[in-house]
Amino acid sequence: MSLYFLEATAFAKLFVREPGTAALIRLIESVEDNRKLISAGTPLEVYAAIRRRERSGDIASVDAAAALDILRLEAARMVQQPLNPAVLEIARQLLDRTTLRWPSTLQLAAALNAREMFQGTPIIFVSSSPELLEAARNEGLETLDPVKEPVEAE
């Protein structure tokens, strides 16, 4: 049985409607909470993105407030991978061998650390970032883009 690591671009789709939202919601509803992983930094990253969209006028304040309430609830239901020294070291190594920006390396490093923690359990890296998906595949993770691929839980 696989674990699903939702990187910030995928996790954000649960709170702001955009391409891939419906597919991701179907996946989340079909997977038990203990099989959904996020980086401990993901809720803050998504919080910042929602506030940024609110300030730019892309979403109304009332919608931003509702999204932030749901964000708090959903983040609390998922297994959060801590940003510990091991994750930071993996991120540093990713910076040395990829062209990823540092926030993306933290996401991928948390997923790679989860793979070590849950040895023998496949980790499916869920993202809408083509660059991150490619880097995750290069690191040996299964990947899923909810915008482009059919989303079905195992």
Residue ranges covered by each domain of the chain: 3-144
**Beta strands in 1-154, from DSSP E residues, in sequence order:** 3-6, 36-39, 79-81, 123-126, 142-144
Handedness of CA 23, 34, 126, 19 (dihedral sign): positive
- Average pLDDT of the chain to the nearest whole number: 93
Please report, rounded to a whole number, the percentage of residues in the chain having pLDDT higher than 70.
Answer: 96
pLDDT, mean of residues 60-70:
95
pLDDT, mean of residues 140-148:
93
pLDDT at position 59, please? 93
Res. 1 pLDDT band, cuts 50 70 90: confident
Q: What is the CATH number of domain 3-144?
A: 3.40.50.1010
